[in-house]
A and B are shown apart, each in its own frame.
Chain A
Amino acid sequence: MKAGIVVFPGINRERDMAIALEQSSGEKPRMIWHKETDLSGLDLVVIPGGFSFGDYLRCGAMAARSPVMAAIHAHATRGGYILGVCNGFQILTEAGLLPGALLRNAALRFLSMDCQLTVERADTVFTKRYQKGQTFRSVMAHGDGNFFADDATLDRLEGEGLVAFRYAGENLNGSARAIAGVYSPNLRVLGLMPHPEDLVDPLMGGTDGKPLFDALAAA
């Protein structure tokens, strides 16, 4: 799968993401500056973590309205794959490509620690190297990861199988129904708060995030 990583000013996990993608696919992802508008030739567009535009006003708000987003919308409409992690997830919700919003963490503090995620379904392009119901370790590092959507939306997400991951154990940031990640209706757009890309090497404490990138590389 040909992958590209979108770099907004203030994004800071693009290097981590590039390493994870390259490690699984053997291919360097294309780095896409936020003022570019041509995403042709890419199968997967990744929006990595960080503080786009300083997270000022609302996390992801300004990035979601910048020039590259029209091309990302078009990519989504074409049925292209999109992965948004952390700030990338926030940007995708702000852009309306995923439902809901990410509010301040319930305890109003930045949370940087390991967490456990449960895989809700293992039949998507992102999760087919995991098993349904499996839990795996990931790293979270965010101040605004408290997933919110109104009850009707939450019911719909659950009803249609669009919840990707939930926090297992303690729901530290207060997310509605412990949701850590969600899919678009066609299951091709995934947003999640924790960072699978930071656990792809035993030296860094484990490889629990690697199956996600292996699956994408094989797709």
Chain B
Amino acid sequence: MERDVNQALAREFGLNAEEYNRVLEIMGRTPSFTELGVFSVMWSEHCSYKSSRVWLKQLPTKAPWVIHGPGENAGVVAIGDGLAAIFKMESHNHPSFIEPYQGAATGVGGILRDVFTMGARPIANLNALRFGSPDNARTRRIVDGVVRGIGGYGNCVGVPTVGGEINFHPAYDGNPLVNAMTVGIAPTDRIFLSAAAGIGNPVVYVGSKTGRDGIHGATMASAEFDANSEEKRPTVQVGDPFTEKLLIEACLELMATDAIVAIQDMGAAGLTSSSVEMAGKGGVGIELNLDNVPARETGMTAYEFMLSESQERMLMVLKPEREAVARAIFEKWDLDFSIIGYITDTGRITVRHQGEIKADIPLAPLNDQAPLYTRPTVETPKQEQLNAARIEDRLGLTAGLRKLLACPDLCSRAWVWDQYDSTVGGQTVKRPGAADAAVVKLEGLKRALALTTDCTPRYCLADPEMGGMQAVAEAWRNLTAVGARPLAITDNMNFGNPEKPEIMGQFAAAIRGMAAACEALDFPVVSGNVSLYNETEGKGILPTPAIGGLGVLEDAAQAVGYGLPSWLDIVVIGKTQGWLGQSLWLREINGREDGAPPPVDLAVERANGDFVRSRILSGEIRACHDVSDGGLLVAVAEMAMASGVGARLSAHPRDVPGHAYWFGEDQGRYVVAVPDAASFIRTSEAAGVPAVRIGVSGGGDLTLPDGGTISIETLRADHAGFFPAWMNGDNRS
């Protein structure tokens, strides 16, 4: 199975001529088959970030509360009480298209390992999903598999899945996006890093055995799909959440001792990337003997061992003489434990198998001379700002609202989250559907974390810079809307083929927008993931910089949800101009996907949000919902549906057309319920924050400003209908 190494094979492995020449230079000879494999995965887009690195550097990553920014397995921020939150989001897009259940399941497994490898107990999972058109026959099966996979894995490991988002668009027909996020908690002084140290220290393999799973998965994740992808696909990785659960418990148990020098999960490119990265970061060498790697199959080659992406495995460097302690723990949990090598002072990775040296590569150039491209970019042309007064409303408010609430992008996701265990752990304060961000309390403490994922890809397509900014701002807004102080984000940059200047231009612009928002909102990026080449037959996805936001509440009891209580005044905070460009109303009611997306004014965003948060913490705001997809009327309807309490809305101002006022998607707004609008608005005016009373809550109906009345039951039926009806009839398991 080992083939002759040459230019042609290198190309098959995803290395271009220039990259292959650099390999020859570094090695000073023709690399062995295994060595070529190592180079090709380490230099794949997925592992090397060769197209994105120059841009990612622009993101702000620092704040006084940031303990570890990007570069570690996950980001780490201090949250008070001597604790740190450790979190990251990661994509499993390609595998989920090939095999939705296992692709999504192993995506959850992978991100969990990134977090507990740093010493954190995972306390919450979220997922950001994008699917093709519901009318595409394949979409339903992908949704079914992905949702079952996420639930199947997360429910079994016992980490609550507390939030996420779902969009549909034909641009994802051939490339669904599955971005999974995990959040964990550790004491700030017990965080485990991956830099290897200590010449002679044992390198230990723990977890599941190695099979021929997913070989070249990392290179696959760095390539476009074409009609032959189904043939070329590697053996699909199957997740084993039970083993993962054991691995979590065993690792945490070992981490409570002082045996570990460094630890890293085996993710993409498995043993190769974990060993190369650990040794590289520590500036040491590493020697591996593959004869000691626990194998699931017979006759595996060095190449296969090094590139396998078998799941539920970790690599660690132990302190000398601590092997017995560690071994006992892993044996207790019935997990494989094997010393497969040692740290050396050679600065090289040396791989032995069956008495032969199969690879011997200097680590410094393998890491430092990884390709880095400043690919050409082309700016997305700006779209025209639409004049709301010239867009006709043919449906009216009542019918428009009902249609919007029932559309795939706005309808209830209960069908989805009802399959995710959101309460295990007993700390979930706000479950899906209750608040703009999930709220999870820390066991034994008052403190809680608020968590959200956000991105509006249609804005990003129309204006990637504004879209990137908006995604960060919306995450910040969602955390603020529960009363949390936003601390940091993780991101998952999902884009098309970076070799196309328009796509690279989208990427660069999105980063610019994100960076500006992170800066203005004190909301740094602490971890992230890039997924490029999301294209099938030349057709790319919508640019999708998914943002995972994390915030903290000192007292979980102060968190508010969006369920509307009875007999309160309803106030909208922030200015409503009636921005219809790229709105869902424009798309769903008028069939148009055009116009400039709503602009984000970061100073206004911050002022509005800081005000809202202060009024939540003072207890004045009893319910709060940010205004996003669908605009003001949809936001109020969602609040009413959440609690079953209706509202009577007042007339809109004369200078804005009704449909634009109620369905426009102006940014930086919140709908809040307060006992006394007059006094509330006096405070807001003093703070320079626009606030307008738009109605009063109570009863079982929503009464619209044009006199239309809809019962909450009717709205709920409209809202809840789509998913179950769409999924019915396909119970394939």
Given A9-B334, A54-B156; A203-B240 close (CB under 8 Å): no
Docked Cα-Cα span, A49 to B421, in Å, equals 12
A43 at the interface (CB under 8 A from B): no
Q: Is the pair A10, B417 in contact by a Cβ cutoff of 8 Å?
A: no
Q: Is B234 an interface residue (CB 8 A)?
A: no
Q: Are A13 and B158 in contact (CB under 8 A)?
A: yes
Which residue, B241, B421, B428, has most C-beta atoms of chain A within 10 A? B421
B241: contacting residue among A51, A107, A197, CB under 8 A: A51
Q: Contact: A204 with B731, CB < 8 Å?
A: no
Q: A19-B443, A55-B156, A139-B423 are in contact. List 14 more A-B contacts (CB 8 A).
A: A9-B242, A10-B242, A13-B158, A51-B242, A53-B242, A54-B245, A110-B421, A111-B419, A112-B151, A112-B155, A112-B421, A203-B557, A204-B426, A204-B429
- Does B333 interact with chain A (Cβ within 8 Å)? yes
A85, chain B: closest CB distance, angstroms: 12
CB distance from A196 to the nearest CB of B (A): 11
Would B156 and A141 count as touching, CB distance under 8 A? Answer: no
A197 nearest CB neighbor, chain B only: B426
Contact of B155 with A54 in the complex, beta carbons under 8 Å: no
| Inter-chain contact A13/B241, CB cutoff 8 Å | no
Q: With A and B bound together, what is the CA distance between A211 and B156 in angstroms? A: 28
- Across the interface, which residues of A come within 8 angstroms of B241, CB to CB? 51, 54
Chain A 195-219, CB within 8 Å of chain B: the 1/0 string?
Answer: 1011011011100000000000000
A109 on interface, CB distance cutoff 8 Å: yes
> Contact flags (1/0) for B408-426 with A, using CB distance below 8 Å?
0000000001111111111
* A residues lining the B interface (CB < 8 Å): 9-10, 12-13, 15-16, 19-20, 49-51, 53-56, 107-113, 139, 141, 143, 195, 197-198, 200-201, 203-205
- Interface membership of B711, Cβ < 8 A: no
Cross-chain contact of B418 among A51, A56, A111, A201 (Cβ < 8 A): A111
Q: Does B556 interact with chain A (Cβ within 8 Å)?
A: yes
Smallest CB–CB gap between A198 and chain B, Å? 5
Closest 10 CB pairs of A and B: A12-B158, A54-B242, A16-B426, A141-B421, A51-B156, A110-B419, A198-B423, A112-B421, A139-B423, A110-B151
CB of B565, distance to nearest CB on chain A (Å): 15
Give Cα A51–Cα B417 distance, bound, in whole angstroms: 19
Quick check: A16 and B242 within 8 Å, CB to CB?
no
Within 8 A of A (CB), among B596-648: none
Distance, CA A201 to CA B431, complexed state (A): 15
The smallest beta-carbon distance between B556 and chain A, in angstroms, is: 6
Against A, the Cβ 8 Å flags (1 = close, 0 = not) of B667-705 are 000000000000000000000000000000000000000
Check if A141 sits within 8 Å of B242, measured CB to CB.
no
How many angstroms between the C-alpha atoms of A176 and B424 in the bound complex? 26
Q: Does B423 lie within 8 Å of A56, measured CB to CB?
A: no
Least Cβ distance of B271 to chain A in Å? Answer: 25
Chain B 228-264 against A: per-residue CB contact (8 Å), 1 yes, 0 no? 0000000000001111011000000000000000000
B428 cross-chain contacts in A, Cβ below 8 A: 204
B246 touches A9 (CB 8 A): yes
Find the B residue at minimum CB distance from A12. Answer: B158
19 contacts between A and B (CB under 8 A): A15-B426, A19-B426, A19-B443, A49-B424, A54-B242, A108-B733, A109-B418, A110-B420, A111-B419, A112-B151, A112-B155, A112-B419, A112-B420, A112-B422, A141-B155, A141-B424, A195-B423, A197-B426, A203-B429
Q: Which residues of B contact A195 (CB under 8 A)?
A: 423
Interface members, chain B 551-592 (any A CB < 8 Å): 556-557
Asked if B441 is an interface residue, CB under 8 A from chain A, the answer is yes
> Can you name the residue of chain A whose Cβ is closest to the Cβ of B241?
A54
Among A20, A51, A109, contact of B426 (Cβ-Cβ < 8 Å): A20
Verify if B427 is at the interface (C-beta below 8 Å from A): yes
Please report the C-alpha to C-alpha distance between residue A50 and residue B241 in the assembled complex, in whole angstroms: 12
CB-based contact B334/A110 at 8 Å: no
Known: A20-B426, A110-B155, A112-B423. A15 touches B417 (CB 8 A): no
Report if A203-B441 is in contact (Cβ < 8 Å); known contacts: A16-B426, A51-B241, A54-B241.
yes
Interface residues of B in 360-393 (CB under 8 A from A): none
B418, B441, B556: the one within 8 Å of A113 (CB): B418
Report whether A54 and B420 are in contact in the complex, using a CB–CB cutoff of 8 Å: no
By a CB distance below 8 angstroms, the chain A residues around B421 are 110, 112, 141
B64 → chain A closest CB, angstroms: 29
B249 to A, closest residue via Cβ: A9
* Contact mask for chain B residues 312-349; partner A; CB cutoff 8 A; 1 contact, 0 none: 00000000000000000000011000000000000000
Contacts of B418 in A (CB 8 A): 109, 111-113
Q: Roughly how many angstroms separate A143 CA and B151 CA in the complex, as a whole number?
A: 10
Q: Which residue of B152, B158, B246, B556 is within 8 Å of A50 (Cβ)?
A: B158
